[in-house]
Every structure is written in structure tokens, then in C-alpha cells.
Amino acid sequence: MSILFRVQRIAISITAIACACLMLVALACDSAGSQTTIVFISDRDGNLEIYSIGSSGEEETNLTQTEMDESAPVTSRNRRYIAFLSGRGDNMSIESMRIDGSDRTAATRAVGAYRDIRWGPDAERIAFVFDDGGQPVVTMARRDGLNAVRLTRIEGTEVGDWSKSGESVIFAVGDGVEQGIYSRNPDGVNEFRLTDQPDYSPRWSPDSRRIAFLSTRDGSPDLYVMDGDGANLLRITETEAREQDISWSPNGQYLMFVSDEEGNPEIYAAHRDGANITRLTYNTVIDHQPVWSPDGNRVAFVSYLDGDAEIFIMDSDGGNQRRLTNNDAQDTNPSW
């Protein structure tokens, strides 16, 4: 083998390695960048608008910039899109846009009241509750607005979320003979009743094996966990307080929730088996709406520290708390 040929092979190898490293760096930067962006709503412009901000408080941007209300932003699991409500009252629709505010698209056509937007794992479908003045129903639509379908014949008062595989949407019926939590196959006909109690806010664990939910079956609202088929019920909290805003950590090991056990809403975390319930915020005002970062290391939340709602961030153990927004407006509903 000639010296020239060896030099050429070495040069090609070095170039290939350099390109691979650059690709990895680019992917890492993209992943880190997407994970550090938080979207939220603010009324600082006279109406509700959707903003984004970096987790260090930089690059605060108005993503919607319209004269109508935009609210309840929810980011897709792949971090590419935001679904949100547009309008108010009974004159609303669901729209979507890219995480940078571009490519805004109507996901629903019918006029009415919408709530509980939940992205499917494919970032193409959205489940939600639609109410046109009659019975609220659980409905599914594509992100591009095509093929909206009703998912259940019974009244659905709240959508929980989708399973990891997309094969199940869980929802709750608030009262009456059909009250409880249900699991529905959005692509088929199977619908299973999992509970028959006053249960609500169901949330699949990341591996879709367990469901966390709230219930007043024993009096005050408490946090429970059960298997995906409704078996092996476990009560996590047992207080006279009101628990709310529940969510799983991305690794499925912990649950976060809000409780007013100490007289005002504060943020807590507990192991999935109910052990080690830990208070994360200590304040004399409302701290609520906690949401995990995609890597599970941080939590964004809302605090009324100065009398108005601001977005804060902290480590998942409650440490390193710091303010992200600081104004006289109401900044709420953070979503990573």
C-alpha cells in the first residue's frame, strides 16, 4: 500500500469522524434547546396570548400575536408542535402551530366549547372534550383538521391522556350512573369501564401500565394509583385537603401533585408506591400547575408570590427555585 493511499484513507477517516461528531453535537443542541423551551399564556397584551421562554429566562417571545384569546397550550411529545384553544366561551376552536409559532393550522371546524387537549404520541392526532351546548363528548381530530370523530357514545366530562402506544385514550365521566374512568381504543371499538366511583383526572404512567387519578370516593379529593385494567388500587394520599394537578415523572417513578394541606396550594412529590411524600414549595400564597421537564430534572410551575401569577422553575427535588417571568400580568399554564 503506497504512502499516498494511506494518507488518503486516514484523511477520509478523520473527515468521517469529524462529520459524525458534528452531527451528534447538532442533535444534542437541538434536543437540549427544545427541552429548555417553556410555553405559557399571559394577558400582558390585554388578551390571552401564548408565549415561549427559555428555562434561563431568555428569549421571551409572543408566539400568537392576535386580538383573540389563545390559551391552554400543550406541547406534543416530540416537542415540535403546540396545540391550544383559540377564542373564548362557546365560540372556540382548537389550533396547532410549530414550537416557534409558525405554520398555524385549525385542528377543529365546529364552533363550541373545547377543553382538555391531549396530544397523541404520533403528534398527528389530538383528543379533547367538545361541547356544542348539549352533551360534552370525547372527540378526536387530526392536527390538520381532517377526520374529526366522536370517540364514545357516553358523556365524557374530561380527557385524561393517551397511552404510550396510542392504543388507548382514558377519560372520565363526572357523575350519574356512568360515572368513573374509562379506557377507549381510538382506532377500534373497545371501551372498558375501569372504575364506577367519582374519579377524575386519570393519567397513564409513561409505560402505560398504571393509571394515577383523583377521587372523592373516600370524602376529600385524594390521589390514587391502579393498574391499567383497574386492578390493584392504591391510595397515595389520605388527608382532608384537596389534591389536584397530578402528573407522572418521565421515568414513571414519581408523582407530582398540588395539595392545600397546609392551608394554601403547595407542590408535593411522592414515590409511585406512596412512599416519601415530600413538600417542594413553602409559601404563603398559591403555588400550582407544576409540569416536569422532558428529562425529569426540572419542574416549571406558577406562583403568586407578588400577588400576580408568574412562571417559576425548580429542580425536581424543589431546589434551585427561580423566577422566569416578572411583570404585573397573569402568566400561567406552563408546558415544556
Q: How confident is the model at residue 65 (pLDDT cuts 50, 70, 90)?
A: very high
User: What is the mean predicted confidence (pLDDT) over 62-87?
Assistant: 97
Q: How far apart are CA 336 and CA 302, in angstroms?
A: 13
pLDDT of residue 160 exceeding 70, the answer is yes
Q: How confident is the model at residue 241 (pLDDT cuts 50, 70, 90)?
A: very high
pLDDT of residue 33 exceeding 80, the answer is no
The pairs formed by 98-106 with CB atoms below 8 angstroms and a separation of 24 or more are: 99/34, 99/37, 99/39, 99/52, 99/75, 100/52, 100/63, 101/50, 101/52, 101/61, 101/63, 101/64, 105/143, 105/144, 105/145, 106/145
Those residues with Cβ within 8 angstroms of residue 49's Cβ, 6 or more apart along the chain or in another chain: 41, 42, 43, 62, 63, 64, 65, 66, 70
pLDDT, position 134 = 84
The per-residue pLDDT for range 247-272, each reduced to its tens digit, is 999 999 999 999 999 999 999 999 99
Nearest CA among 55, 59, 87, 60 for reference residue 71? 87
Query: Structure pTM?
Result: 0.88
- DSSP state for residue 22 in the 8-state scheme: H
Per the rule left: phi > 0, alpha: psi between -120 and 50, beta: everything else, 188 is beta
The per-residue pLDDT for range 93-133, each reduced to its tens digit, is 999 999 999 999 999 988 899 999 999 999 999 999 999 88
- DSSP state for residue 139 in the 8-state scheme: E
